[in-house]
Structure 1
Amino acid sequence: MPDSAPDSTAGSAGAERFRPLLFSIAYGMTGSVGDAEDIVQDAYLGLTRAQQSGTRVTDPKAYLTTAVTRLGINHLRSARVRRETYVGDWLPEPVVVPPGPAEHAELSDALSMAFLVLLEALSPVERAVFMLREVFGYAYPDVARLIGKSEVNCRQIFARARQRISAAPATPAMSRAVGEELARRFFAAAAGGDLDALLGLLAPDVVLFGDGGGKTQVVGHPLAGRDRVARLLAGLFRRGRTLGVVLRPAWVNARPGGVLYDAEDRVIAVFELAVADGAVQTIRSVVNPDKLGHLGPVSDLARVSGVM
């Protein structure tokens, strides 16, 4: 934070190397790609203005991380009413990483959709403390500095937050190669209408969630059970084939998944798969067109037909 003479990396060019970390923190706070990018940009602008006004910044990483954390808390406070009135199941905006290098390839692998949904139960400050400590491994003195509270208070906040979401099952980590191969077989079975293969890749108690945000037709509530989910997916993909719809595998929120496109290469939906023991345990589908625009042009099918 502001202090004595800056080091040689304090300028905006040197500080750019912190962008992946800053994005992960901001995205973990907001669940929105666009809002996270705006918050990160505001933090960099704040650093630039501070330096231009003569403020000496010895630790640009600490300055930027503090700014992003506090901007994220303020954003959550202002967005709480919108979240409480959200229509249907809320899922975060998907972070999609295609094969090869990508801008957000370093997104923390802890920031799955399931984890971000759990964080919605926490207050803005609880969310910040829990994420900084649990996901990014910050020590309590650093969390206290970033949040602007005492170390004792941060320990209490973390314990309270952990207790509130302690019942959440953890998704075992897996290599990207293993996850992508299972996703490839899963989506190939769905696209090809191979119901037996699809059933073999779904866990018996698989659950499917859909987020349409009231903008498109989705399943009205989480759909549970291997037979029901398999038949729904087979029917959706069968209908999609008649419309020229294609699915391209991708890495979604550090999990295997895919992006559904229409015949004009516009985005319809994004799928994230939670996989364990060689089977798909949970499917999350984002169809809300307001959450897909950062991926490219959005299909009209995302607005009217209801892919999920």
Structure 2
Amino acid sequence: MLFSIAYGMTGSVGDAEDLVQDAYLGLTRAQQSGTAIGNVKAYLTTSVTRLGINHLGSARVRRETYVGDWLPEPVVVAADRTGPVEHAELSDSLSMAFLVLLETLAPAERAVFVLREVFGYGYPEVARIVGKSEANCRQIFARARKRIAPGAQSADLAPPPPARRTESEELARKFFAAAEGGDMDALLGMLAPEVVFQGDGGGKARAIARSETEPRRIAQMLVGGFRRVRILGASLRPAWVNGRPGGVTYDAEGRVASVVELDVADGMIRAIHAVSNPDKLGHLGPVSDIGRLPQR
């Protein structure tokens, strides 16, 4: 639960794990000093949230100089739901699209919104956790909802139900097969008219320079990308990424090269998010260098 809150606030697996560790260290110090803690869960929730607010202040400065589009670190679960499933419950809670929207919020707004909207805390609890009045938290939440509402859709937050999950998985399978086979017509038939393609290389790996919204251009990039994957001896394995269908690309030596997430709604793909920044893939295993850009 603590990791879920921290990840919802930071969009980073590594930072979320650090915040949780810091919260537990704070708890240990408090107990060793003789501080009486009546509710450990409430103490840790408050601690990790406030640590997250402080962290976001410095993270915002770093992201002002970020190269290209910013996407969160992916939380990946194998398509068959077997093997390591650390943080799997979180992967069903926040899509990449929703985490990108949360980036528009100020630290306190994000904390209030995540606690209230994602984890269902009541206003009295939210006020206690963030250290503000209940009335103020209501105002903050209303302001945050208004700010992100134009770009938000329910599919960004709620995980797909089991029936939709199966349909989405099948659509993803056909989509990747069409991309690998160079079937432009099939790809265009699966892309929503308002589709968006975002890539995050962080200036360290190959990625599109800016978001692409033209379906034919997106289809061409996908076909070209899969052709390059084959040439390099890499392969894509199906996976669930932040609760959505997607895949992980591995090089010939089994190292992680990139992660792709597909946002599916009404039987169409409305967003594609591809993370190739090596700094955001290390928690998934050894990272490949096939997509790295030369250092300046």
TM-score relative to the length of structure 1: 0.88
Match of 1:230? 219
Paired residues for 1:250-269 under 5 Å: 250-269=239-258
1:96 maps to amino acid: V
Match of 2:208? 219
Paired residues for 1:73-222 under 5 Å: 73-98=53-78, 99-100=81-82, 102-107=85-90, 109-172=92-155, 173-174=159-160, 175=162, 176-222=165-211
Unaligned runs of at least 5 residues, structure 1:
1-20
Unaligned runs of at least 5 residues, structure 2:
none
SS at match of 2:20: helix
Match of 1:34 among 14, 20, 41: 14
SS at match of 1:55: coil
SS at match of 2:98: helix
2:255·2:287 contact (CA, 8 Å) conserved in 1?
Answer: yes
Identity over aligned pairs, percent? 71
Match of 2:41? 61
SS at match of 1:303: coil
1:148 maps to amino acid: G
How far the C-alpha of 1:202 sits from its partner, in A, is 1.6
1:171·1:276 contact (CA, 8 Å) conserved in 2?
Answer: no
How far the C-alpha of 1:200 sits from its partner, in A, is 2.3
Aligned length: 285
2:98·2:152 contact (CA, 8 Å) conserved in 1?
Answer: no
How far the C-alpha of 1:68 sits from its partner, in A, is 0.6
Single out whichever of 245-254 and 295-304 deviates more from structure 2: 295-304
Distance 2:121 2:256 in 1: 37
Computed over aligned residues only, the root mean square deviation of the Cα atoms, in angstroms, reads 1.6
1:228 maps to amino acid: R
Distance 2:249 2:187 in 1: 18
Once the two structures are superposed, residues 96-125 of structure 1 have per-residue CA deviations (whole angstroms, 9 ceiling, x without a partner) of 111226011110634111111111111100
For the structure 1 residues 257 and 146, does the alpha-carbon distance in structure 2 shift closer, same or farther, using more than 3 Å as the test?
Answer: same
1:67 maps to amino acid: S
1:211·1:218 contact (CA, 8 Å) conserved in 2?
Answer: yes
1:112·1:254 contact (CA, 8 Å) conserved in 2?
Answer: yes
Single out whichever of 268-277 and 175-184 deviates more from structure 2: 175-184
2:49 maps to amino acid: T
How far the C-alpha of 1:34 sits from its partner, in A, is 0.2
